[in-house]
Copies of this chain bind each other. A is one copy, B any other.
């Protein structure tokens, strides 16, 4: 372990330079869902690729039909094991912009209750997280001259927009991407001082719907009454998705959803999770969702249907007495267990279409789909990674679930036959996807140290 100690010292000594690199990365507005930022996405990919080349990886920016991938390799002679590290360089749109205290793409340090933290869009999701791994690799190479295992790095630029290019890219580059194990740094810690490995992830079905009732916007004085109003129709459709107990009413939705085994339920009860504090931190005064389920169960083990956006008619300042021609909503369904994203999309579309009143039409636009993931909690690689985390944090890592969706994990298994370890250093209050996103300096610093220890441990993998 003396080798690792030198690496850790290097990470500590180089923290100012690591932060400079992170700030430069965060300055690139690589918003994948908005085509206005196409060039910025490529710029972020090139920046990351240059970083990897700079520490001796053989790296390239690979074109896809969407935003490019970064693929980089460094395979030491005699390395017994080979890991594929995955991250994403794209970020969520920063709106609503007016709620940011400082511009989202001008990173800054601020003092928080746990010490310094980095505020910027992407600081936590996922630029800060993915750099923890690259900085760990850099420290190995700059001290010992080599990595303890062979490493392939794969960075995508469409994680926030459904990863449409991933499967075609896997199909074309299977041999190049195959490794013994995938590592993904896009998840969180249990709390600020307790590391975690995430073994459960929800799946996701994204759908955009448009209700059309007339050929053009109409004056609500001249037509109000006999004219069908698409906002009314859409509201009724949205309101029809749940019953009074929070259950989703789309037929077949709960097929493949199992009750939590008592052993796991007991484990979760033992975590001492503070529901009130969790909801309170988000400013939530009431609790919604399925009746009779705990907050952790609702997030980690139950499916949901959320409306992520709705719009139609006049939404500007003042008033406009219009009956619009169309109204729109963006809907996402989070999946668990063996729920089938394809069957659920079909059923959702049928359910909504059947509920349309006369004179209203509906159209659908797909925004990605993936099933839920449950990873083995007893693999040798997981035990080694847990050792590394324990050494860094002096605490037993928690095996936890996540309400989020990371479609790549399913693709690694299905397309490349690889298991994944999900290890990340984000915190619940990082405000990812929200204004004023932040990443704790301790997450960034000790995250890099954690990866150094995990890589060293994985060299022992038989």
A residues with CB within 8 A of B = 32-35, 92-93, 95-96, 99, 160-162, 202, 204, 206, 208, 213-229, 231-232, 234-236, 238-242, 275, 279, 282-290, 293, 295, 298-299, 302, 304, 306-325, 327-330, 332, 334, 357-360, 367-368, 402-405, 428, 431-435
14 sampled A-B residue pairs with Cβ under 8 A: A92-B322, A93-B314, A206-B321, A216-B434, A225-B403, A226-B289, A227-B282, A227-B284, A228-B288, A232-B238, A235-B235, A239-B240, A284-B359, A285-B359
Given the complex of chains A and B, what is the CA–CA distance between A289 and B229 in angstroms?
10
- The one of B160, B222, B239 in contact with A404, judged by C-beta atoms closer than 8 angstroms, is B222
CB-CB under 8 A from A308, the residues of chain B are 220, 231, 313-314, 319-324
CB-CB under 8 A from A286, the residues of chain B are 213, 228, 357-360
Known: A219-B432, A220-B334. A316 touches B225 (CB 8 A): no
- The one of B282, B315, B332, B334 in contact with A311, judged by C-beta atoms closer than 8 angstroms, is B315
Q: Tell me the nearest residue of chain B to A426, going by C-beta.
A: B222
In the complex, the answer to whether A234 meets B232 with C-beta atoms within 8 Å is no
Choose among A32, A206, A307 the residue with the greatest number of B CB atoms under 10 Å from its CB.
Answer: A307
In the complex, the answer to whether A317 meets B35 with C-beta atoms within 8 Å is yes
Given the complex of chains A and B, what is the CA–CA distance between A329 and B204 in angstroms?
28
CB-CB under 8 A from A319, the residues of chain B are 33, 160-162, 206, 208, 308, 330, 332, 367-368
Given the complex of chains A and B, what is the CA–CA distance between A227 and B280 in angstroms?
11
